[in-house]
Amino acid sequence: MLKSFHTFTLATLGIVAACASIPGGDPAVSVVARAETVPVGTVNEDAADDPAIWRNASDPAKSLIVGTDKKGGLYVYNLAGEQLSFLAAPGLNNVDLIEIEGRPLVVASDRSDLATAHLHVSVLSPETGELSALGRVSVGPGEGYGICLGAPGENGAIPVFSAPKNGVIYQTRLVVTGGKMQASTSELARVPSQPEGCVADPRTGTLYIGEEAAGVWAIDIATGDKQLVAPTGTGLTVPDVEGLALAPEGEDAGYLVASSQGDNAYAVYRLPGVVPVGRFRIAPGAFGSVEETDGIELEPRSFGPDFPNGLFIAQDGVNPPAAQNFKLVRWDDVLAKLEAARGF
């Protein structure tokens, strides 16, 4: 069983009662972006979608961001938001990455075939920021949408979790050796309606899936058992629930963050137990406010002097007069504002 499920049942009534005091999904504390990426190349359309972070362990300030343009492909940015490279691949939606053999492997959901979900796999050069495509892997029936990666198994297989629009949650075991790929896919679970947001917690064997209309599910990766642990309409999120991100601490603690696209906010839950902490918004500042966020990403470790205690990235769906882009926020700004407002 999932560790988080052990405490959830007893806490549910108290959690719901606490959330009920937050009318209409408010209040939410405000933070401002500390940087932003250059806009994606597709203008006047819903194009930018999801970011992923590669942290440079030897020099965190030189870390890289990969972001999707659904109409164009994959962009690579530095922490100043400058574009380093672009890999054309129309039809990509969500993206995640993992470092294997010293190189970041980038996996994106490929929806260019609306009948069959695929994975688009590439390798990121830490030195140049260039992406090199490895190939495309078929997953199963459904329009490719959400995606996230788990921790590699003993045989080196990387679990890739896909959440196409039909509600089937797939697990693909991807093995990459010498530039060649092998993959096998099985069905893990199903949710009642369209999902997208996805993040895996290898520490507890839990996969979190955002069902846009209903909220966040926790799925036991070993068994496929699932539970709706953060429903919409309880004060933290409203439909649509979009991106999910995780800030792990220790064996099973940390934070889970969900994008509440329906009211331009982000819900924060404490792990284990998915206990509501509060909400925040990215308010107007030097780099503008953020609205209608799809994908988010979060890494709580240091990224150098500009982001010394973690980095939160959100897709900005409304960024006039420019095209959509991604905003960068200090994670410690978020925690400080929530602590001041809620006391946790």
Read off the pLDDT of residues 221-268 as tens digits, 9 standing for 90 and up: 999 999 999 999 999 999 999 999 999 999 999 999 999 999 999 999
Q: What's the Cα-to-Cα distance from 294 to each of 185, 227, 327, rounded to whole Å? A: 26, 23, 12
Q: What are φ and ψ of residue 340, in 5° steps? A: -65, -35
Q: What does the block give as tokens for 270?
A: 């404490």
Query: Mind spelling out the 3-state secondary structure of 48-59?
Result: EEEEEEECCCCC
Rg (CA), the chain: 18
pTM higher than 0.85, yes or no? yes
Q: What is the pLDDT of residue 18?
A: 33
Q: What is the pLDDT of residue 102?
A: 82
Task: Assess contact for 9 and 267: CB atoms under 8 A.
Answer: no
Q: What is the C-alpha to C-alpha distance for residues 265 and 158, in angstroms, rounded to an integer?
A: 32
Q: Say whether pLDDT at 5 is over 60.
A: no
Q: Which domains does the chain have, with CATH numbers?
A: 3-342 (2.120.10.30)
Q: Hey, is 15 helix, strand or coil?
A: helix
Q: What does the block give as tokens for 127?
A: 């030195």
Helix (H) or strand (E) holding 10: helix 3-19
Q: What is the pLDDT of residue 26?
A: 62
Q: Hey, is 1 helix, strand or coil?
A: coil
Percent of the chain whose pLDDT exceeds 90? 87
336 band by pLDDT with thresholds 50, 70 and 90: very high
The residue ranges of DSSP E strands in 125-251, in sequence order, are 131-141, 146-149, 158-163, 168-177, 180-190, 195-201, 206-211, 215-220, 226-231, 241-249
Q: Hey, is 296 helix, strand or coil?
A: strand
